[in-house]
Structure 1
Amino acid sequence: MSRRKPNNMRARMERAAGGLLRQHHACIVDASVPEVQVMLNYNNLGQIISRTVANALCDFAHHWTVYISAICQNGPERWAKSVEYELAGIHVITKLPDLFEQPVQDVIASCNPKHVIGHAWIAVPDSITIDEQHAHRIYERVSAWGIPQRASA
């Protein structure tokens, strides 16, 4: 008699969704100034428009790495003061903004209020590290400073 585990379709679907998100390097970027929320490939900064990837991102709970920033500007100088952390446990994406509402306020409070023009966050359904320069490129891609990105020639 066989001692195989019973088929668990939900677990199989969750593993497949996680693999799909890692393959596409999917992340969610939300910026308050242009009021945009978009799915991006965090490696090549291309927008992800696949319904399958969107379903994998939104329908299942994941372990999230979150990069929260206060978007600042003083004349032509633009910068972001940021903090990165991993959320404990697994969460559905619809609950994320509630989980880091206080950290967003803390990051904004640590900046000069004359320079703060908004806030933004990057949420990746994986355990990764985003460096400051890479986050800056992601924020420029979604026009987090309210200045549209110039087309590359």
Structure 2
Amino acid sequence: MSKVRKPNNNRARLERASRAALRQSKIAVYNIDPIGRQGLCNWSTAAKYRPSRHVADAIFDMSHQWVIYISAFCEDQAGRRYYKSVEIAPNGIYHTDALAGVLDEHYRALLDSCNPVHLVGSGWIANPCGQSLSEEQAARIFEAVKAWPEQEAAA
């Protein structure tokens, strides 16, 4: 008697390969407001990442279990910089297009909790692999992608 094999499922195989590529590359998506800078970076080394076609398709064409690190960039009267941050892990699997609706409520709540005089910018880092970021990792990424506004030289 012969064994019954599962039929070949090309889509499932492509999704497994794509998720593996994202895990190995340690890719995260970032967005910095109000300058509107967006891109991909390696969340482990904080280096900017120029995606291959395979990685870009894996991020933007598939749904993922996202973990999102949201930060507000603040500066007090003495010129000391600080972050006010929150990390969320929405229940469910989301496509990148649907992520904005999930993110908006938490993003607005964080910005409303900040002192408006101290607030100089905001941003988020979304990880499609479900990996949580530490405060140090997030700060390194925000520094690497130049999230803070440039300091004006004192004349």
Q: Alignment length, in residue pairs?
A: 148
Q: Which moved more, 1:65-74 or 1:16-25?
A: 65-74
Stretches of structure 1 that go unaligned for 5 or more consecutive residues are: 149-153
Q: Which moved more, 1:122-131 or 1:21-30?
A: 122-131
TM-score (norm 2): 0.89
Once residues 116 and 104 of structure 1 are traced to their aligned partners in structure 2, the CA distance between those partners, rounded to angstroms, is 14
Question: Could you say which residue in structure 1 is the equivalent of 2:135?
Answer: 132
Contact 2:75–2:81 (Cα < 8 Å) also in 1? yes
Q: Which of 57, 60, 63 is matched with 1:61 structurally?
A: 63
2:124 is aligned with 1:108: no
Q: How does 1:36-51 map to 2 (within 5 A)?
A: 36-49=37-50, 50-51=52-53
2:95 is aligned with 1:95: no
- Deviant stretches of 4+, over 4 Å: none
Question: Could you say which residue in structure 2 is the equivalent of 1:143?
Answer: 146
SS at match of 2:12: helix
Once residues 46 and 53 of structure 2 are traced to their aligned partners in structure 1, the CA distance between those partners, rounded to angstroms, is 18
Contact 2:48–2:145 (Cα < 8 Å) also in 1? no
TM-score (norm 1): 0.90
Contact 2:70–2:85 (Cα < 8 Å) also in 1? yes
Once residues 102 and 127 of structure 1 are traced to their aligned partners in structure 2, the CA distance between those partners, rounded to angstroms, is 20
SS at match of 1:100: helix
CA deviations 1:120-140 (Å, max 9, x no partner) are 000001222211121111111
User: What amino acid does structure 2 have at the position aligned with 1:85?
Assistant: I
Q: Which of 119, 122, 126 is matched with 1:123 structurally?
A: 126
Once residues 65 and 126 of structure 1 are traced to their aligned partners in structure 2, the CA distance between those partners, rounded to angstroms, is 8
Once residues 40 and 121 of structure 2 are traced to their aligned partners in structure 1, the CA distance between those partners, rounded to angstroms, is 20
Q: Percent identity?
A: 37
